[in-house]
Amino acid sequence: MTASNRIVLSSDHAAIQLRQTIAGHIAARGWVAVDIGPTTPESTPYPKHGEAAAQLVASGDCRFGIILCGTGQGIMMAANKIKGIRCGVCGDTFSARMIRQHNDANMLSIGVRVVGEGLALDIVDEFLTAQFEGGRHATRVEMIGALEE
């Protein structure tokens, strides 16, 4: 098993069901789902789950990360605090494709209270099939990375 086919998934308590559905969805497409999120409905803070998933991506243990909370915003903000992480919240397939093609995003955040299951799975598919275009976008991604130093 290599990091190139591993995707870490995490969420807060609000998104357990959708996270588990996404884990099965990506596994059916040949990815290894590394689900580190909670399994019980007790309230749990999204920052710790965003950070934990981001650490696995930043370390190279997982190629991508998919994180979820109510809006997708808070958990994304936590993940983006980790050096090397480029995570975007997506509520549509176009944005999911573009954050990979233009921003070389390595994490995707989804709001469980914003999108339904069918759209969430389509967003995941767009994110995972899009390829970074490089070129002028690589210079901009390097500029983002320089902000971390």
SS3 of 25-78 = HHHCCCCEEEECCCCCCCCCCHHHHHHHHHHHHHCCCCCEEEEEECCCHHHHHH
> Active-site residue 102, yes or no?
yes
Residues 13, 49, 69, 87: which is the catalytic one? 69
d(CA 90, CA 138): 21
Residues carrying an active site annotation:
69, 102
